[in-house]
Structure 1
Amino acid sequence: MATNSTAKAATQRLFDSVKLGSLALDNRLAVAPMTRISATETGHATAPMCDYYSAFAEGGFGLIITEGLYTDEAFSQGYHFQPGLADASQRDAWKPIVERVHASGARIIAQLMHAGALSQGNRFRSGTRGPSAERPAGEQMAFYRGAGKYPLPVAMSVTEIEEAIAGFAAAALRACEAGFDGVEIHGANGYLLDQFLTEGVNRRADAYGGTVAGRLRITLETVEAVRAAVGPDFIVGLRSSQGKVNDFHHKWRGPEEAAEIYGLLGGLPIDYIHTTEFEAWQPAFGDGASLASLAKRHSGLPVMANGSLHDPLRAAELISDHGADVVTLGRGALTHADWPHRVATDAEIAEFDGRILAPLADLENAERFRAAA
């Protein structure tokens, strides 16, 4: 067991400064994107959301990544009361949040998300779209106001794929205009871009299916479109995972396929890859390297690692032993918005209590939970 002095030395690396592309961070601690379904019905960020995000900045996190923001007024929205970046008014609603986070010394990145076939609430269109007409596994998430099985999606036409890509690019430009420090393209957790990558979900026979390169084509084209929209200096990242919100146990074919995927992603004009697993330090394929390690090795890019890293020693291990440049916290940040300050001062860190997300994972429920605690 580590002594207090050795533990302190190990966790000190979490507080080293680091750069992601041109973006300088005061430490290696970031808040992971977490869906909170607390915007207005029309997708506008709210005053409670401003308090929520700024609390992490005030608590010492060097970087905050927003929840997934829908990108267009077609098929991208995933949840009722999800915030968006699909028009100018939604863009402007984010400006006070960005300004307040910056005033507290942190940076903030907007995560851009297209839910695809996993959409369970879209005020713009009826029905869903995906790479193929395959009903998603599992059931809709009740704590995001869903119920029952996912609907059967319609396979996207090439024109609809192009429209989705254009939506990512337009939303990225709005993020830049709102003052965000960068964008993170959501290519993970079973949402649209990940649906295209996933065998069995993507059964296309055209250029967007088949091989790894074909199944990654929409991701590659999305990144290129976003980069063209925001220019060379704005931060662009990409989130990557094996598991999905509707299929926790999904795996790629093995380390060889991971090497191919991350090799292709490493050739893109992005500033980092953000990997997420249930437990980030575990081998990605039964034994051997973690997903974060594989991403680092085969892409050559800076890596953020996410997954049950609320133990400070575990978080430090991802940096010292797995090659991660930044660690991102979800449950740990929800438990303590001032998690970095607590680690720095050896203050108590409580266990996560799932009631903060039940029956709904919104800010109103979290406030009720804290009031009753």
Structure 2
Amino acid sequence: MTYAQSVQSLFKPFTFGKITLSSRIVMAPMTRQFSPDGVPGSDVADYYRRRAENGVGLIVTEGTVVQHPDASNQGNVPHLYGEAALGGWANVVTAVHEAGGRIIPQIWHMGARGHVGDYSESDIASIVQSFAQSALEAKRLGFDGIELHGAHGYLIDQFFWEKTNPRTDSYGGDMVARTRFAVEIIEACRRAVGPEFPIVLRFSQWKATDYTAKLAESPAELEKFLAPLVDAGVDMFHCSTRRFWEPEFEGSDLNLAGWTKKLTGKPTITVGSVGLDGDFTSLFTEGKGANHAKIDGLIERLEREEFDLVAVGRALLVDPAWASKIRDGRTAELIPFTSEAVKTLY
């Protein structure tokens, strides 16, 4: 098999709802803090456009925060509310679409200042509405869908995880009860955007504070966790892992995206150190970077339809043309991930 034939599965179109992606490659959301006062400028539009014109089928933006006092403590994280920020995102959408790409915003609330038990039911209702309002704005601006950030220990995930959700009311308790907050957000967003606008949910087992954490210890528990989210209206799951090649449960080679697709029948996105020769968490140790890695195993899994789309993070962060170089066999031109390279190619 030639190189061109071996990578072809990454560049087959994928139809998702009423949109068609030109490739199976997704740009993973990566926070950059390049939007002063929450407003994305022309540099942000150029940043995403460069990836779209180089073969990325779907861009998931960096986390965009909702309008709530606790949503972010970082001044340069982009907002998905307010006239100035929404105007900036409109320009981003136009730039990506003109380059032939598709783009969805990741809608984010970074988390409770204390813990989720501090929020009253009226606080929760306000946050739910803020997600729905941002979803509605995303549709109005011409985005191709939305992604809700329910991973890595941020607010939605704080409700999911028993160690950060001590509530004894209907928003806490067993695994299904702890999905109620997310369910209400999904349902509110669905009402805001209508039945055909895609809703993606990103979730993870691991947390930024605990890489060994598990929401679900077995496929049966994972199925129980996912069912209410599907019923609420999730169209696709973005399954965040540290290393895509690692099995999620004993007795099967399936990763988290593979199990999620098998249990729900919904399309899934896999992610986790794709294209790097080391897992991403090691990249932040002093002086350490990563070279590109072969993607044969990834392609084999994609061809087996274990998952549908492949999210690429740091390899795309450092190299806007990563996808086109992979497509065209220009692997010798791939740029290794280093902090200095990132600074020059944002």
Same fold? TM cut 0.5:
yes
- Is the contact made by 2:150 and 2:156 (CA closer than 8 Å) also made in structure 1? yes
Rounded Cα–Cα distance in structure 1 between residues aligned with 2:25 and 2:205: 23
SS in 1 for 2:61: strand
- Is the contact made by 1:29 and 1:61 (CA closer than 8 Å) also made in structure 2? yes
Rounded Cα–Cα distance in structure 2 between residues aligned with 1:86 and 1:287: 46
Give the counterpart of 1:15 among 11, 15, 22.
11
Give the counterpart of 1:355 among 322, 325, 339.
339
Query: Which residue of the partner structure matches residue 84 of structure 2?
Result: 89
Rounded Cα–Cα distance in structure 2 between residues aligned with 1:286 and 1:79: 39
Which runs of 5 or more structure 1 residues have no equivalent in the other structure? Answer: 118-127, 133-154, 358-365
Rounded Cα–Cα distance in structure 1 between residues aligned with 2:194 and 2:126: 20
Shift of 1:269: 1.7
Rounded Cα–Cα distance in structure 1 between residues aligned with 2:304 and 2:114: 40
Query: Which residue of the partner structure matches residue 136 of structure 1?
Result: none
SS in 2 for 1:216: helix
Rounded Cα–Cα distance in structure 2 between residues aligned with 1:321 and 1:129: 44
Query: Which residue of the partner structure matches residue 296 of structure 2?
Result: 313
Query: Which residue of the partner structure matches residue 281 of structure 1?
Result: 245
- Is the contact made by 1:31 and 1:329 (CA closer than 8 Å) also made in structure 2? yes
- Is the contact made by 2:320 and 2:345 (CA closer than 8 Å) also made in structure 1? no
Aligned Cα RMSD in Å?
1.9
Shift of 1:7: 4.7
- Is the contact made by 1:331 and 1:352 (CA closer than 8 Å) also made in structure 2? no
- Is the contact made by 2:319 and 2:345 (CA closer than 8 Å) also made in structure 1? no
Shift of 1:340: 1.7
Q: Deviations over 1:51-95 (max 9, x none)?
A: 111110111111111001001132112523100112233111111
Query: Which residue of the partner structure matches residue 26 of structure 1?
Result: 22
Query: Which residue of the partner structure matches residue 262 of structure 1?
Result: 226
Q: Deviations over 1:299-356 (max 9, x none)?
A: 1111111111214324323312362111110012113211221111100254642415
1:291 pairs with 2:278: no
Query: Which residue of the partner structure matches residue 233 of structure 1?
Result: 196
In structure 2, relative to structure 1, the CA distance for the partners of 1:130 and 1:6 (3 Å cut) is: farther
SS in 2 for 1:267: helix
- Is the contact made by 1:13 and 1:316 (CA closer than 8 Å) also made in structure 2? yes
Moved more, 251-260 or 309-318: 309-318
1:111 pairs with 2:101: no
Rounded Cα–Cα distance in structure 2 between residues aligned with 1:71 and 1:176: 15
Query: Which residue of the partner structure matches residue 43 of structure 1?
Result: 38
Percent of aligned pairs with the same residue?
A: 33
Rounded Cα–Cα distance in structure 1 between residues aligned with 2:124 and 2:68: 14
Instruction: Output the amino acid matched with 2:255.
Output: S
Query: Which residue of the partner structure matches residue 327 of structure 1?
Result: 310
- Is the contact made by 2:271 and 2:311 (CA closer than 8 Å) also made in structure 1? yes
Which runs of 5 or more structure 2 residues have no equivalent in the other structure? Answer: 276-293
SS in 1 for 2:320: coil
Q: Deviations over 1:122-145 (max 9, x none)?
A: xxxxxx25313xxxxxxxxxxxxx
Instruction: Output the amino acid matched with 2:239.
Output: T
Query: Which residue of the partner structure matches residue 61 of structure 1?
Result: 56
SS in 2 for 1:162: helix
Query: Which residue of the partner structure matches residue 363 of structure 1?
Result: none
Query: Which residue of the partner structure matches residue 244 of structure 1?
Result: 207
Q: Deviations over 1:196-242 (max 9, x none)?
A: 01111111111011111111000111000001001112121110111
Q: Deviations over 1:16-53 (max 9, x none)?
A: 1111122211111110000011101x200012211111
SS in 1 for 2:15: strand
Q: Deviations over 1:161-216 (max 9, x none)?
A: 11111110000111111111111011111110001011111111110111111110
Rounded Cα–Cα distance in structure 1 between residues aligned with 2:114 and 2:297: 39
In structure 2, relative to structure 1, the CA distance for the partners of 1:210 and 1:181 (3 Å cut) is: same
In structure 2, relative to structure 1, the CA distance for the partners of 1:45 and 1:255 (3 Å cut) is: same
Query: Which residue of the partner structure matches residue 287 of structure 2?
Result: none
Shift of 1:287: 4.6
Instruction: Output the amino acid matched with 1:37.
Output: Q
1:344 pairs with 2:327: yes
Number of aligned positions between the proteins = 325
- Is the contact made by 1:281 and 1:318 (CA closer than 8 Å) also made in structure 2? no
- Is the contact made by 2:4 and 2:328 (CA closer than 8 Å) also made in structure 1? no
TM-score computed with the length of structure 1 as normaliser: 0.83
1:80 pairs with 2:75: yes
Instruction: Output the amino acid matched with 1:266.
Output: V
